[in-house]
Structure formats: structure tokens, C-alpha cells
Amino acid sequence: MAANKKLLFLPGDGIGPEVMRQVRRVIDWMDRKRKITFDVSEGLVGGAAIEAHGVPLSDATLAEALAVDAVMLGAVGGPKWDNPSDYTKRPEAGLLTLRKELGLFANLRPAVVFDALVDASTLKADVIRGLDILIVRELTGGVYFGEPRGITDIGNGERRGVNTQVYTTSEIRRVARVAFELARKRGNKLCSMEKANVMESGLLWRQEVTKLHGEEFQDVELSHMYADNGAMQLLKNPKQFDVIVTDNLFGDILSDEAAMMTGSLGMLPSASLGAPDANGHRKALYEPVHGSAPDIAGRDLANPCATLLSFAMCLRYSFNLDEDAKLIERSIQNVLGGGMRTADIMAPGMARCSTTVMGDSILRELDKLAS
């Protein structure tokens, strides 16, 4: 049978190739055991691409990323490429170009606490046990991109730094639509966060989200919260939330706050989505939240779970394979429940294992769950 699901693998640098290897193994498993076939091509990004092509993302790789159904990325960066004279020769520039060219305006960051890792959080177990929330952050607008911007000399030894927070109706509506649609597939609750009390862009955000809700999503329970209160509520009672939608700046901060409640960088997946095409298919990039971890690279020590969970998001959001996404999530949960731990999430009494052995255990668990 011809494969019609096209994936581009960009393992990148450091631990990127090691953790992506475990995704390959799950893809082979799906082919063998679930009769679900992916057409996988592989390219270079970041430092690896600089070494091979002199740039962090070649035109050919970008063209391929634009042509596939989804891109899976490992991580980019490392000390070797930390201080280039030319900013466009930084490994991160490859990732930023991908986000820009694919038009990825919605960044999805789940914060899920696995039962076996409740004690890894700095918060009390009661507060975070069973936590499963999703933050949708606007990724291509707002104060990080608004004009005017810059630092100017205003005389008398004074300088002025300016950034502009700016959002248009369509920018707000498209990210809010993604969030409403996701809420419908989850707990059917959406909380929109801004600072409508002190910012016009926040007021417009609230008005547009409310309007879209009335027009298309009345079945979803919508609430609004000022982002500063949101930051407090996330720590006080995070389980009150299902999906949160917010702008680029607040989303940057709130998604890191929510992520850290789960206690481990090696467990955090992410997805970035673009606008739907005529068939309703969105451009998409999936990647773990962590970086290339040069301190442990090449030693079979990295935790592959964040990348495998990113692949589960890919199955769910790009290919509508919810059942298979759940299989991966459940097998990770069970393997952790059985006491397996890579070094980053090691705890007393647990069994310390390598990247490869964690992959072996997850595949064995997949076999069990799918039989």
C-alpha cells in the first residue's frame, strides 16, 4: 500500500538524533503492528546543516518542509556554533526560518503530570496530581514583532527602548479558533488571558474572542482572566483550566510556568500549527521543549519521552490518529509507573536506564497495549 502520510525528520544537534531515533523505532512498530505507514524523509537543521551546507537551513530542506504533512524536529544548537559573527549563521536561525516560512502562528504546549512523576514537581502532590492542561500561545505577532521597535538616543545622555504590542482582528481570531477547536476535543473549556484592564490590544483580544465564541463556539465554555491573575491561578489551582489561549508575550511566560509544574524538561512536548489549507490540513512542526543538551549528548543518557510525546501530538493533530497517540502516551505512563527512569527523572528506588533501554521498554509496552 502506498504511504500517504509524509513526514520530514530534522534531528538537528546534540541529543536531537538520539531522541529522534526512538521515534523512528515507534514508526517502524506502527508500520509492522498497526499497518500505519509513514513516508519519512530526513534532513539537516541547525549546527548539522551549518557543517554540511554553511547555513542552518538549506533551501532544499525548507522546500521539503513546505511539501510534507508534518515536520518532526529534535533540537538545535551547541557550543561549537554559539558565537558566529553573522546572526543568520546561528543554529536557532534555522528553527526561526522554519516557523516563519511555515506560518506557524499557534504554539501548543501541554502540561501533563504523569502519576509516577508527581513528586518531581515543586508543587504539592494534591495540587498537580492528574493535571492535564494545554496552553495555546500566539507565536508570530505581538510585542516580539511589533513596529516601531528599537533603542534611540533622546539627548542629555538618555536613551529610549521601544517595543510595540500590536494585534489585528484576524491574528486574534485565527489563534482563538485553534484554541476553541482544541477545547472541543478535550474538556470543552477555554480560558482566554490578556490584560484588557490596562492594554488596548488586550481589550481588542477579549472583544474578538468573545465575538468568535458567540458566532461559532457557543457550545464551548469560555472564560476570561487577566494574565497576571492567570499566573497566580496556575500555581494555586491549575486543574481549574482545560485550554488556555493567550498572546505571544504572556504565552511565553505562562507556558514555561505551566511546564515547570510537571517538574522535568525531558517530558515536555510541543506543537506549532499554521493556517488550514483548502482540505483543512494545517502546516505543522512538532518538537520537544528541551534543547540539544550538549552536556549529555552522544552518551545514550537523554530522556526520549518529550520527543515521543511530540510525535503523539503529531499523530493526533496532523493525522487524526487519536487512538495511536493515546497508545504512546499510555505506554510511557506505564513504563514510568513500572519504575523505569532516565537520569533526568531518576528518583530513589527506581531503575535507572539509558535512552535506548527506555525506548525498548516503551516498545514492549506498546506491544502489550496493542495486543
Please tell me the distance from the alpha carbon of residue 38 to that of residue 19, in angstroms, as a whole number.
18
Contact region with ligand NAD (CB under 6 A), list: 163-171, 207-215, 240-248, 288-296: 288-296
CA 217 to chain centre: 25
Decide whether 172 or 268 has the Cβ nearer to ligand NAD: 268
Binding of ligand NAD at residue 296 (CB under 6 A)?
A: yes
Is residue 56 within the footprint of ligand NAD (CB under 6 A)? no
- 176 is a contact residue toward ligand NAD (CB under 6 A): no
Please check if 109 is assigned to a binding site. yes
- In the complex, least distance from residue 28 CB atom to ligand NAD, rounded to whole angstroms: 21
Q: Is 291 in the site for ligand NAD (CB under 6 A)?
A: yes
Find the binder of ligand NAD among 17, 56, 77, 202 (CB under 6 A). Answer: 77
Q: Is 51 in the site for ligand NAD (CB under 6 A)?
A: no
For the chain, the distance separating the N- and C-terminal CA atoms, rounded to the nearest angstrom, is 23
Query: What minimum distance in Å lies between the beta carbon of 46 and ligand NAD?
Result: 7
∠ CA 178-140-311, rounded to 5°: 55
Determine whether the annotation assigns residue 177 to a binding site: no
Among 208, 242, 344, 365, binds ligand NAD (CB under 6 A): 344
Decide: residue 366, CB within 10 A, 0-12 exposed, 13-18 middle, 19+ buried. Answer: buried
The reply, when asked if residue 93 is annotated as ligand binding, is no
CA atoms within 13 A on the CB side of 118: 11
CB closer to ligand NAD out of 227 and 296: 296
Owner of C-alpha cell 542552518: 56
Site for ligand NAD contains 75 (CB under 6 A): yes
Element (H, E) at 177: helix 169-185
Query: What is the SS3 string spanning 140-151?
Result: CCHHHCCCCCEE
How many C-beta atoms lie closer than 10 Å to residue 305's C-beta? 31
**Residue positions in the annotated binding site?**
99, 109, 137, 228, 252, 256, 291-303
Residue numbers of the site for ligand NAD (CB under 6 A)? 15, 75-78, 92, 95, 265-266, 287, 290-296, 302-303, 306, 342, 344
